[in-house]
Amino acid sequence: MWRRIFSRGDKAFEIPAANSPLFERIDWERLPRHVAIIMDGNGRWAKGQGLLRTAGHTAGVKTLKNILKTAIGLKLDALTVYAFSTENWKRPATEVDFLMGLFSEYLKKELMEMHEDNVRIHFIGRIGELSPGLMRQMHEAEELMQGNTGVKFNVAVNYGGQDELLRAVRSLAREAAEGKVAPETIDAALIESHLDTAGNLPVDLVIRTSGDERLSNFLLWQSAYAEFYFTPINWPEFTPEDFVTAMIDFAGRDRRFGGLTNQ
């Protein structure tokens, strides 16, 4: 059974059930558990349409709704998206202000719907450097959905992978200086517990839209053994069908994690 979730223009998109035609080629035994997306190409899409960059960001939010709902239908464990990096502050102030307003508007409009869909939202990055109003909205959203058991929806805002690792190392250094942690006991699991994504599974698949083929300082530790899927499609034009194509491509990969394929 399909359920209407939101409208994109005058066309409604619905959470697909397991037997949906959208999923007919899915290998349910070989799906990634944690998918991360670098949502690139909003500005390029807008330029190609003769529109302002802000129009691209607005269109990108609509795409994100579609992909989150598709992830729900696929029953993924986690979806992590790169919404705003620590380097994005270099953009014009008008664009940064627009993006911050867009985050706020997204939470106002989509909060209860995500909650009803059993999504658990979590914001990662230097959230404490955002405006008090936006921080309050983010905190309230996390509080509302903290008991949900569906897709973990991690939104990276004011996030950088190197910065995250630096913060984790400094935190561990303080604990060591205070005698709470013995340096020789620091292992990968302890480092992971100090990352913004603590409690999440490692990233299985990183998707980047719009043609560039790099991580751009996103989830550096978490993506150590991730598969990568690059597409020239700009984010506003990335569809659920494109997302499913990435899932099918992932299912065909031979993941050895440094070992050899079992014969």
Active site residues: 40, 88
**Among all chains, which residue has been given the structure tokens 């799906």?**
31
Pairing outcome for strands 3-8 and 11-15: antiparallel
Distance CA 74, CA 28 (A): 8
DSSP 106-161: HHHHHHHHHHHTT-EEEEES-GGGS-HHHHHHHHHHHHHHTT--S-EEEEEEEE-H
Specify whether the CB–CB gap between 1 and 14 falls below 8 A.
no
First-to-last alpha carbon distance for the chain, in angstroms, is: 40
List Cβ neighbours of 259 (8 Å cut-off, separation of 6 or more): none
**Cβ atoms 106, 123 nearer than 8 A:** no
